[in-house]
Structure 1
């Protein structure tokens, strides 16, 4: 069941309810110009194997005018990955970072140095500025905690370009690093369907859900076109964003402006490759920027 709108970045997830026919609900979720989650289609699957996903992806692709997404976010399901490679060979595929990081306690809680392992993994994943930093830090992690033979970590490292932020930051993800959009859409559908919903009822309720989502987008469009959010500075750049962006996106820009206005350069260290600026400001601002000379 397609939706008329389409986005370059798609979140796909099958963890939502399984109905009384034992068919998991699999929505394709994107983001519109207001930052709202939008439903781009869905399927009810009798099996979650590669052939089933290939069939679903091909059907959905036809509904989308054979325009594949530029990016897709899923969990680590191997069957999904195989189907994506088959049907969307040029689509950038990333794994849900949240699903990976939430497994850290399960994998390492029995270690004596669990707290240190958890902190080091978190710091390495979120704070590495580039691939070299990550790879060097990964080697230190394994040596420090004697994890060279940990199969889970070894497998993750082999697929690091699918989940580590520093490998993915130069690609457009519409703010997605997890399947949170899919899970949010699941919560939305809780008001329309449940595990006891019949297939006939599902079709009707699905249509009602789409109408409800469309109405919310129309209301946001009207608000953005007919009202203004005041600028917080005299900057002509901020004014340009105010004119061109929807309210939701402009508010995000304003947060960046406010953070920048409350920051100042505390220290500068120069070497032959980088200028390292230490930025001091309000909580939540980024402390260090590295700018090549």
Structure 2
């Protein structure tokens, strides 16, 4: 850990946005740690509206849960906001890492956070991210359901049960629809005594998509982003690797992320789609504004309009959009999507809520636009997040200025604001010279204020890296002069796997074991037969 601390101090000299924090026990052994760098905090400032957080990966020599904070870039790619090693998975530790994360990010809170099911994590999120929507990973809940009651889905008596179950979970348009259809399914297939389904019903507001359709969480419903990030780390580090190895792998992965982002920015700026699928004006407009990968998602929505029909409920105001009866691809349960429009004010809304969730218009609204010969998508429906960099509108500042008395938070806020102004001023010589002159004036005024406070004994000397926030937590924080110690090594020899194995995996393992035993038995019999025949063969050779 001393090597890690030295590494972080060296990185901090080159990167003012570098931030790290350690948590110690009574013996000064590291129990938890968090770190991020300037590139990650820049990404968070732009794309930190939705984060994925997962702690299932423990591959390191200390067997500490590895917890990356992961997000989605403007190209729909995965990015890293920061990483942590946790000493345990208690509410107190989760609260520590979430508070540390927010401090590192200048006080900005995400709009949505998606995690696995963990009560301690849920408790900490409720305390730290009070205005953030928390949802659980739908994929893991469905996977657990298949493992626990998979036989119910395959039973002949329950024909179409899985289709019914999957349709209700994924496709309900309103909470009321879900709360009507789910009990009907339970009664229809006599599932009243299935405990896991009872648990799913009790916790429905924590994971069922319809309860989150107005919460921004672009193109994801699971912690797949975090699991993908874990896989990338696994390719570079393993059970015997130190935290230092993770640091270097973090830097390598971030290099790859930024190289990919720059490459995609360049492609979006210099290349246009080879062909427009439908030659609509709105398709051409989208191709000019959207990043290429996002434009392809938009084209898929346009493609879906081909199988849709529109009926008028109230001319110029309310429409019903549904799958055409002659379409080959039909829904399990046909639904009619209500689209409400206000053409004079250029307002469009759909009951599916896709624009709120993904920041992109749905196929239902696009179908109505095409029917009404709308020639241009209103600018407000092509959000800055998905636009080419040169096509972005002026972004309103979201940096928090209320930094209270926390010097670390104030430093991060000022650094981010300063980097933004410096980026603009460096484009032209005139703005550069103006900025330099104003900075000299600012520096003189700040120095004067510091001297005035020093005279009245009000100045405070606070460290920027790792420090004590309160006397109560003094034993938990690292001061630079303290000699830190490594965590206890995990006993990896003969260590039991932490990951819960699925029933299918156990069946495959049992099958392989049986096959291996049978092969061993066959080889043993052949060997015994050979040993029995050998003396006879020798006797025959002697007599002959």
- Shared fold (TM-score greater than 0.5)? yes
The match for 2:368 is none
**Alignment partner of 1:108: what SS?**
helix
Q: 1:156 aligns with which of 176, 181, 200?
A: 200
Q: 2:181 aligns with which of 131, 137, 144?
A: 137
Q: Deviations over 1:125-168 (max 9, x none)?
A: 12322111111112112222333344332332222122111111
Q: If the length of structure 2 is used for normalisation, what is the TM-score?
A: 0.50
Separation in structure 1 between the aligned mates of residue 179 and residue 265 of structure 2, nearest angstrom: 45
- Whether the 8 Å CA contact 1:30–1:39 is kept in 2: the answer is yes
- Whether the 8 Å CA contact 2:71–2:79 is kept in 1: the answer is yes
Separation in structure 2 between the aligned mates of residue 257 and residue 276 of structure 1, nearest angstrom: 14
1:214 is the counterpart of 2:258: yes
Say which structure, 1 or 2, has more relative contact order (CA 8 Å, 6+ apart): 2
Q: Quick one: structure 1 residues 154 and 212, their matched pair in 2 at CA, closer, same or farther if it must change by over 3 Å?
A: same
CA RMSD for the aligned pairs? 2.7
- Whether the 8 Å CA contact 2:50–2:110 is kept in 1: the answer is yes
| Number of equivalenced pairs | 290
- Whether the 8 Å CA contact 2:94–2:121 is kept in 1: the answer is yes
**Alignment partner of 1:103: what SS?**
helix
Structure index of larger Rg: 2
1:231 is the counterpart of 2:272: no
More off after superposition, 27-36 vs 165-174: 165-174
1:84 is the counterpart of 2:125: yes
- Whether the 8 Å CA contact 2:311–2:319 is kept in 1: the answer is no
The match for 1:57 is 98
Q: 2:228 aligns with which of 184, 189, 197?
A: 184
The match for 1:254 is 299
- Whether the 8 Å CA contact 1:259–1:282 is kept in 2: the answer is no
1:31 is the counterpart of 2:72: yes
Q: Quick one: structure 1 residues 277 and 221, their matched pair in 2 at CA, closer, same or farther if it must change by over 3 Å?
A: closer
Q: CA deviation at 1:108?
A: 1.8
1:289 is the counterpart of 2:333: no
Q: CA deviation at 1:25?
A: 0.9
Q: Quick one: structure 1 residues 114 and 66, their matched pair in 2 at CA, closer, same or farther if it must change by over 3 Å?
A: farther
| TM alignment of 1:123-134, pairs within 5 A | 123-134=167-178
Q: 1:20 aligns with which of 61, 68, 71?
A: 61
- Whether the 8 Å CA contact 1:20–1:196 is kept in 2: the answer is yes
Q: CA deviation at 1:105?
A: 2.5
Separation in structure 1 between the aligned mates of residue 94 and residue 211 of structure 2, nearest angstrom: 26
Q: Structure 1 or 2: larger helix share?
A: 2
Q: CA deviation at 1:204?
A: 2.0
Q: Deviations over 1:75-123 (max 9, x none)?
A: 1111111110011011101110010111123322455656654443222
The match for 1:68 is 109
- Whether the 8 Å CA contact 2:49–2:112 is kept in 1: the answer is yes
- Whether the 8 Å CA contact 2:61–2:239 is kept in 1: the answer is yes
- Whether the 8 Å CA contact 1:269–1:277 is kept in 2: the answer is no
Q: CA deviation at 1:284?
A: 8.2
- Whether the 8 Å CA contact 2:60–2:243 is kept in 1: the answer is no
Q: CA deviation at 1:190?
A: 2.6
Separation in structure 1 between the aligned mates of residue 298 and residue 234 of structure 2, nearest angstrom: 32
Q: If the length of structure 1 is used for normalisation, what is the TM-score?
A: 0.89
Separation in structure 1 between the aligned mates of residue 238 and residue 159 of structure 2, nearest angstrom: 40
